[in-house]
Amino acid sequence: MTTFSDLNTLDAIAFVAALDGIYEHSPWIAQRAAGRRPFASLAALKLALQEVVDAAHEDERLALLRAHPELAGKAAIAGELTAESTGEQAASGLNLCSAEEYAALQRLNAAYNGKFGFPFILAVKGPAGRGLTRTAVIDTFARRLKHARADELAEALRQVHRIAEIRLNALLGVTPGMGAQVMEWADVIGAWSDADAGLTCAYLTPAHRRTAAQIAAWMRDAGMETHIDAVGNVVGRYAARDPSAKTLVTGSHYDTVRNGGKYDGRLGILLPIALVRALHERGERLPYHLDVVGFAEEEGVRFRSTFLGSGALTGSFDLGKLDTLDDEGVSMRQALLDAGHDPAAIPSIARRREDLLGFVEVHIEQGPVLLQRGLPVGVVTAIAGSSRYLVELAGVASHAGTTPMGMRRDAAAAAAEIVLLVEARCSGVAALVGTVGQLAVPGGSVNVIPGACTLSLDIRAADDAVRLAAVDEILAGISAICARRGIEEKLWKIVEAEAAPCAPRLMDVLGAAVERAGVPRFDLLSGAGHDAMEMARITDVAMLFTRCGNGGISHNPLETMTADDAELAGQVLLDFLRGLGRDA
């Protein structure tokens, strides 16, 4: 068996020979990486191989893609594949296709090759390395066939690197055990949904309560003192030997959006549980209490208010919200009582600032930045602040055929100008984004000039001054557009959240841990809100983002990540926890 240290010490020819088959019929990649040894870690080796491909000529990258066999193609049938490809295709059962599946794959192969000029490449061993089903392979194939060429070229290369990662693991006998455990747990609770299809886990529903009980059970098995608090947060403590030690809190939310992804939030709960289990098995204690919290509610699906779980920890849970009704007319208070909780006890959950060392949250990025940079993890600099408004425009509804163009007061045309204004004002400014996500002509007809139009505004930035300046200009612009067009406007501010900067001290401990894992530190802004944003009210916060596959899509069943990235994030988090122990 080849070891990682062998790879660093073999002569260049033997190094290339050892990596034969990692990249299909493309020994030039190992040849060019040989001179960059020694590598600090397996992660560093993978990145170096990836960088060689990035730096290669475009024709070489195309040749690398074309060196791959078609899935269940003629070469596979004729037994002409490399040993690696034969094994991988068999792991997905592609050698056992029905006649219909085989025909579907041949049609897809032909259409794909015709559109892109290279074969369809997919790491058929999948995100956890256990093998995708044939249905999943065919669905992915059909979905990717619709991509634009540049996007698909990038995705095909990422799949090539993922295949290389799996093959390197096999070569070196490495298994991302903690990462695979987290993926498996995410699959278990990811199957418990409020809906028949897809994952929906809204606050205090039966699926939500079952999920909480399971997370609590895993925490207990991992060696934590565990309870579910009055708001439904699952809290596990891995106690320090000194009872008077301070507490570091880590965690994220276990509720989901409708038809969401199974790693959003949950990764940040399950990864620390797996990590504590490993610490507990080794008998290793930290010099502070580590509290892993599965926050009951972050997404705002059932009662339209967000951060109920972390808000209870920071003492900002508004008891007035207990009377809020869900769509079925059930109050939050009743839902809490039905779940066996005591709503009156919620204020007592609040943590005291002086007891806390900080809060760290691991979360899937929910965007494409790390994916496009080929990096498994990144250090979050700040969570963007946001301003949201609802806008109602009132014009005059009149006949589409008889009202001359110059005499119209068209509310939708004004809205269209507003959409473009938001886009123009927020383009080209670093760390500022603006979106009109809702746009409607209530009661509109084909043959009537829109007399009313409603739209939403969502403006976010890392810097509050940048955001507020953009909001001011956009609101002034809306007034000007409406005045010019004879439209009456009404505005409601529905959200005003300040940016939450991460603590430089914690970012540096996290960044040093990333570098020790052999991965360059890369800092990025979180455009999405997270529990860390709420926790920043009472303590220093840090966040580690993990790479989000499938183009960075989240809040969607297609959200995905790999066991290897989860493993690396676990390694970084453990190093962070130990580093903090040395500092504390």
Residue 164 burial (CB < 10 Å; 0-12/13-18/19+)?
buried
In the complex, least distance from residue 309 CB atom to Zn ion, rounded to whole angstroms: 11
CA-CA distance, 336 to 79, in Å (whole number)?
Answer: 60
| Closest-CA residue to 85 (of 76, 74, 93) | 76
Task: Tell me how far apart the alpha carbons of residues 76 and 90 are, in angstroms, rounded to a whole number.
Answer: 10
Shortest distance in whole angstroms from residue 268 CB to Zn ion: 8
Instruction: Please give the Cα distance from 126 to 36 (Å, whole number).
Output: 29
Q: Positive or negative CA dihedral for 366, 371, 376, 378?
A: negative
Kindly indicate which of the ranges 34-42, 72-80, 258-266, 491-499 contains the residues binding Zn ion, using the contact rule CB under 5 A. 258-266
Total residues in contact with Zn ion, by rule CB under 5 A: 2
Supply 380's token pair: 């979050």
> Taking the CB of residue 370, how many other CB atoms lie within 10 A of it?
21
Decide whether 125 or 460 has the Cβ nearer to Zn ion: 460
Query: What single string gives the DSSP state of each residue in 242-284?
Result: STT--EEEEEEE----TTB-SSTTTHHHHHHHHHHHHHHHHT-
In contact, 547 and 370? CB cutoff 8 Å? yes
Closest contact distance (angstroms) between CB of 256 and Zn ion is 8
Smaller CB separation from Zn ion, 333 or 555: 555
CB of 216 to Zn ion, least distance (A): 20
Q: Which is nearer to Zn ion, 42 or 182 (CB)?
A: 182
The smaller minimum CB distance to Zn ion, of residues 42 and 212, is found at 212
CB of 300 to Zn ion, least distance (A): 11
Please state the closest distance from residue 81 (CB atom) to Zn ion, in A: 40
Two tokens at 466?
């940048």
The answer to the question of residue 260 lying near Zn ion (CB under 5 A) is no
Residue position matching structure tokens 């990249």: 23
Segment contacting Zn ion (CB under 5 A): 29-37, 256-264, 424-432, 483-491?
256-264
Indicate the residue among 37 and 555 with the shorter CB distance to Zn ion: 555
Q: Which is nearer to Zn ion, 29 or 189 (CB)?
A: 189
- Report yes or no: 549 and 562 within 8 Å, Cβ to Cβ: yes
User: What is the rounded CA–CA span in Å between residue 29 and residue 46?
Assistant: 11
- Strands 289-295 vs 356-364: parallel, antiparallel or unpaired: unpaired
* Cβ neighbours of 381 (radius 10 Å): 18
As measured in angstroms, the least distance from the Cβ of 273 to Zn ion is: 17
Tokens matching residue 88 = 């991988």
What is Dmax (Cα atoms) for the chain?
84
Output the smallest distance, CB 271 to Zn ion, in A: 14
Is 482 or 532 the residue whose CB approaches Zn ion more closely? 532
* Contact range with Zn ion by CB under 5 A, out of 220-228, 261-269, 306-314, 388-396: 261-269
Residue 363 C-beta: closest distance to Zn ion, Å:
6
Q: How far is the CB of 400 from Zn ion (least distance, A)?
A: 44
Nearest to Zn ion of 264, 575 (CB atom): 264
* 513, burial (CB in 10 Å: exposed 0-12, middle 13-18, buried 19+): buried
For residues 89 and 200, which CB has a smaller minimum distance to Zn ion in the complex?
A: 200
Beta carbon nearer to Zn ion, 165 or 264: 264
The span of 76-84, 132-140, 260-268, 415-423 binding Zn ion (CB under 5 A) equals 260-268
The CB-nearest residue to Zn ion is 265
Q: What is the dihedral of CA 14, 15, 20, 26, to 10 degrees?
A: -120
Q: Which is nearer to Zn ion, 176 or 265 (CB)?
A: 265
Question: Which of 264, 463, 534, 575 is the binder for Zn ion (CB under 5 A)?
Answer: 264
Instruction: Yes or no: say if 65 and 27 are a contact pair by the CB < 8 Å rule.
Output: no
Q: Which of 388, 392, 397, 411 is nearest to 454 (CA)?
A: 392
* DSSP H or E stretch at residue 388: strand 385-394
Q: Is 84 in the site for Zn ion (CB under 5 A)?
A: no
Binding range to Zn ion, per CB under 5 A, among 265-273, 305-313, 486-494, 497-505 = 265-273
- Residue 265 interacting with Zn ion (CB under 5 A): yes
Binding residues for Zn ion restricted to 555-584, rule: CB under 5 A: none
Provide the binding-site residues for Zn ion, judged by CB under 5 A.
264-265
